[in-house]
Amino acid sequence: MTYAIDGWFAVEPGGVRLLGTRCAGCGTVCFPPRRDSCPNPRCEVTDMEETLLPRRGRVWSYTNACYPPPAPYVAAQPYEPVTLAAVELDEVGIVVLGQVKGLTVEQLAVGMELELTSGELADGPLMWMWGRAS
């Protein structure tokens, strides 16, 4: 299976995990993974450690995409609108955008718990997605 983006997520036996980094100095957590420097302007540490991010979070915002995004995104033909959610991860508090699998905007609400899953994009590669929390 081909991942849509290498090094940002992994499908493991226990489920889909986002691959973040954590500053060894101040503890700032990053996603996408940032490996060369800490984004905290008051921190000069360059030692960023790989960390698996929490698999669950709560909806911070959401919308649907009724028009296909521009290239290089490969949209399904005919285009099927997708649902997108920005989810605040448990514990670390950062917000991660993703396509929502199996839920429409009418079924989403701010604060609703979602869990990471994965799905295939229209041109085949695997991508992390948000799904109903089990």
Residue with tokens 């909806």: 59
Do the Cβ atoms of 115 and 56 come closer than 8 Å? yes
Binding mask 100-129 for Zn ion (x = CB under 5 A): ------------------------------
Does 25 bind Zn ion (CB under 5 A)? Our answer is yes
CB under 8 Å to 86, separation ≥6 — which residues? Answer: 59, 60, 61, 62, 95, 96, 97
Which of positions 35-74 make contact with Zn ion (CB under 5 A)? 38, 40, 43, 45
Q: Please, what is the minimum distance in Å from the beta carbon of residue 34 to Zn ion?
A: 10
Q: Please, what is the minimum distance in Å from the beta carbon of residue 40 to Zn ion?
A: 4
Does 23 bind Zn ion (CB under 5 A)? Our answer is yes
Alpha carbon 34 to chain centroid, angstroms: 15
